[in-house]
Amino acid sequence: MTRESGHAGTRRLIVLSGPTAVGKGTVEAAMKARHPQVWVSVSATTRASRPGEKDGVDYLFVSDNEFNAMKERGEFLENAVVHGMAQYGTPLQPVLDHLAAGVPTLLEIDLQGARRVRQRAAELGLDVLSVFLAPPSFDDLVTRLTTRGTETGEQKRARLETARVELAAQDEFDVVLVNDQVETTAERLWELIVREYGLN
């Protein structure tokens, strides 16, 4: 498929996804700390902020009404209900703007979101590199889920069930990164970005 020059699709959008609690956020933060030239999309969410999280930095914390209004206005690249708990969505325009400016652009979203981005890629003229972050083993993932400590027992069970389904999805992705050690995985993610964006 050919595309018009100057289209946002000339640079590949990196979509980092994977099972719950595999450490997507931690790997993304480690990579971003070392390589601040990468722009990571700030999602809107209807969940409550956790201690230390900043509105507009970690997430755009919005009400259900605000979220639904954004959705109706077509402002999301993708949106999903995650763990049956809260709505999350990626604002589209900032993603297009950063890609158009040639800035390495990364989404850290759940599997439903990654699928939706792939579905919409052609319509939006986006090139997508989808990266699945896998745990070293399922047992490792279970340990991570049960030591995270921010969820109730019922939430943990829901997340574990989600993880079983999500682990089976890795074949849908362009690249699988095994998150054995955060700093090493973050560097491997950076190397993918360097390759895609032709950075030195």
Binding site for ligand 5GP (CB under 6 A): 20, 24, 43, 47, 78, 80, 82, 88-90, 108-110, 112-113
Which of 27, 109 has the CB closer to ligand 5GP?
109
User: Residue 15 CB, nearest distance to ligand 5GP (Å)?
Assistant: 10
Q: Cα dist. 158→83, 132, 137, 169 in Å?
A: 6, 20, 19, 17
User: Residue 120 CB, nearest distance to ligand 5GP (Å)?
Assistant: 12
- Comparing every residue's Cβ against ligand 5GP, the nearest one is 113
User: Residue 198 CB, nearest distance to ligand 5GP (Å)?
Assistant: 27
Which of 7, 71 has the CB closer to ligand 5GP?
71
Question: What is the rounded CA–CA span in Å between residue 33 and residue 29?
Answer: 6
User: Residue 184 CB, nearest distance to ligand 5GP (Å)?
Assistant: 20
DSSP classification of residue 8: G
Which of 104, 113 has the CB closer to ligand 5GP?
113
- Two structure tokens written together for 29: 């933060």
Buried b (16+ CB within 10 A) or exposed e, 19-39: bbbbbbebbbbbbbeebeebb
Q: Which residue has the tokens 């999280």?
A: 53
Buried b (16+ CB within 10 A) or exposed e, 150-165: ebeeeebebbbebbee
Which of 47, 118 has the CB closer to ligand 5GP?
47
Which of 8, 109 has the CB closer to ligand 5GP?
109
Cα–chain center distance at 1: 26
User: Residue 191 CB, nearest distance to ligand 5GP (Å)?
Assistant: 21
